[in-house]
Amino acid sequence: MKKISKNLHFSEFFSNVSHLFIGRITSLFFQFLSGILFARLLGPEQKGIITVALVIPGLLVSFADLGIRQATMFFMGKKKYTDQELISSVLFTTQFTSILGISIALIIYLITGFHTRYDWALMLIPLAIIPVTFLYTYSSGVLLAKLEIKKVAFLSILNDAGFMLIIFFLYIFNIKSVVLILTCKVLCALIPAISALNLLKKYGILMPSYQPKLIMELIKKGIIFAIALFLLDLNFSLDIILLNQFSTASEVGIYSIGVSIANILWMLPNALTTVNFSYSSNAQSEMEYAKKTVNILRFTLLFALVPLILLYFFSPIVIPWIYSTQFTKSASVVQAILPGVWAMLIYKILNSDLAGRGMPGAGIWVCFVALLVNIFLNYWWDPIWGAIGSAWASSVSYTLVAIIYSMVYCKLSHLRIAEIFIITKDDIKIIQNFFKRIAS
């Protein structure tokens, strides 16, 4: 297994980032194509049935995950337990969370009367997605801890690519079986899960084992990861709930389009933070790696200015052209929220390092304070300015998270705040060497 030394090779680091980024972009492309074929093949009613059938398992996967993947990456990177102990415990935990998720999903189905409106097959088949997804998610945590990032990037494509091909053939032959499509959805999700398991054989025997102390540590650490992520997601999604409460459905639609465009700025950094988490959890010296993290952050903030400027000036042209003139106001939403989206890069990257050190809770109170600010500003601005007011509220909230969290990070990493933001001579040399390699 690779171990991160004091001399982090940025070419290798950004190579891993680019592979993960390309994998996610490719997956999104296949999802986009599947969505088009889906809609044309099934029509609104049958597509709605599949959406309803999948929504509950999808939610349960998010809530019952318990942050186990991140906890696995942390413990494996820090070598607190042997690879075999962790692999066996992860496989056992997969069984536990799968049973928990399926049980809760069945209860929800029964309470909502889903089984009385549709076939039992439409209820039971999607439930299989829960254990399959957990199996892949937890296994990929082990692989990421082992810095098998390029393989994980490839595996992430398999599910969406396979499903898109199946939908394409069903579309060609005009086969409209909802049960068949749901079955194919499960089988396609099984491909990367089995592939990930096969890769795990390199690091240990695939034998589930109940180890109470280790499993409890995984869950305790994982829950902190899950809470931190939940608060962050809540800050991102609460705007829509509040805007719907204090404004109109039209403003919600305008806001949602603007935010989806602005969030393009996070696509590459989201891949970067996953890689940084892996490297941080494997770092020999946390303080030395902190210097590398702020180095990466400075590059990210600098290069993110290019898409930021493009989004700011071209969104008023592109959005009406793609979505129609009814969404012209969404461009103003993009412009209002972009400063906060850019600032939030600070939190995302610095948090990936602290999470890799096993301190995901370091920023929980920061996210909570920002959440309260976001609620207050939405309450104040939404009735007056609608979608744009909500975008301003988000921008202020995100910026507040970035500023306070950077101070927390500096204190925990024994760094000065200037080290996060001021470009150094070494940075310039790295940038020059980067462009020289591209030119050669």
The model's pLDDT over 25-80, given as tens digits with 9 standing for 90+, comes to 788 788 777 766 776 777 656 766 776 677 778 767 766 667 787 788 778 777 77
Q: What does the pLDDT read at residue 39? A: 64
Q: What does the pLDDT read at residue 399? A: 93
Q: What gap in Å lies between CA 292 and CA 349, rounded to an integer?
A: 11
Q: What angle do CA 244, 248, 254 make, to 5 degrees?
A: 90
Query: Is residue 297 within 8 Å of residue 349, measured between CB atoms?
Result: yes
The helix/strand/coil state of 318 is helix
Span of 1-15, 137-151, 370-384 with lowest mean pLDDT: 1-15
Longest dimension (CA), the chain: 68
What band does 342 get if pLDDT is binned at 50, 70 and 90?
very high
* pLDDT digits 0-9 by tens, 192-228: 999 999 998 888 888 888 888 888 888 887 777 777 7
Q: What does the pLDDT read at residue 45? A: 66
| Lookup: tokens for 30 | 């296949």
| Residues 245-254, mean pLDDT to the nearest whole number | 78
Q: What does the pLDDT read at residue 395? A: 93
Tell if the pTM clears 0.75, that is, is over it: no
* pLDDT digits 0-9 by tens, 420-433: 777 777 667 766 66
| Lookup: tokens for 209 | 């084992």
Query: Is residue 315 within 8 Å of residue 264, measured between CB atoms?
Result: no
CB neighbourhood size of 273 (10 A): 26
Q: What does the pLDDT read at residue 7? A: 43
**DSSP code per residue over 93-154:** HHHHHHHHHHHHHHHHHHHHTHHHHS-HHHHHHHHTHHHHHHHHHHHHHHHHHTT-HHHHHH
Sequence-distant (≥ 6) Cβ neighbours of residue 174 within 8 angstroms? 41
Residue 4 above 50 pLDDT? no
* pLDDT digits 0-9 by tens, 294-333: 888 888 888 888 889 998 999 899 888 877 788 788 899 9
Q: What does the pLDDT read at residue 396? A: 94
Query: Is residue 87 within 8 Å of residue 203, measured between CB atoms?
Result: yes
Tokens 């607190």 belong to residue: 80
What band does 115 get if pLDDT is binned at 50, 70 and 90?
low
Query: Is residue 265 within 8 Å of residue 338, measured between CB atoms?
Result: yes
Q: What gap in Å lies between CA 138 and CA 280, rounded to an integer?
A: 19
| Residues 109-129, mean pLDDT to the nearest whole number | 77
Q: What gap in Å lies between CA 400 and CA 394, rounded to an integer?
A: 10
Residue 412 above 50 pLDDT? yes
Q: What gap in Å lies between CA 295 and CA 3, rounded to an integer?
A: 19
Q: What does the pLDDT read at residue 268? A: 67
Q: What does the pLDDT read at residue 1? A: 44
| Residues 102-124, mean pLDDT to the nearest whole number | 77
Instruction: Please give the single-letter amino acid code of residue 149.
Output: I
Residue 172 above 50 pLDDT? yes
| Residues 97-103, mean pLDDT to the nearest whole number | 87
Q: What is the mean pLDDT of the chain?
A: 80
